[in-house]
Amino acid sequence: DYVIEIGVEGPVDGVTGRVMAPAALDALVRCEVIARYDQSDLNALPEFAAVPPTTENLAVAVEQRLVEKWPESWPRLDRIRIEETRRNRFELRR
């Protein structure tokens, strides 16, 4: 099982004490990432037709999906970290 972490960067809201609402980020990740890649044969997906579905290429594909749907009003997407095993992880910083 992969562990995917999405990091955001931006000003902290004085009222909520957060950069953004975690539920909103969770919903976007569930819809655009988990629904697409969880329990899928990555080799069969179009985004991996020309490249192998390595952890690195998966992070790039996740970034592309999130950037396409990222609301303008949200803080900036900062990083995507994917942990394949305890000893194999990759982090893409924007």
Quote the pLDDT of residue 76. 96
- The rounded average pLDDT for each run of 10 residues, N- to C-terminus, in the chain (94 residues) is 93 96 96 95 96 96 96 94 92 94
Quote the pLDDT of residue 59. 96
Cβ 80 vs Cβ 6: under 8 Å:
yes
Quote the pLDDT of residue 75. 95
DSSP 50: S
Cβ 83 vs Cβ 89: under 8 Å:
yes
CA distances 3 to 38, 90, 91, Å, are: 11, 11, 11
CA distances 37 to 29, 43, 44, Å, are: 11, 11, 11
Quote the pLDDT of residue 1. 78
Quote the pLDDT of residue 77. 96
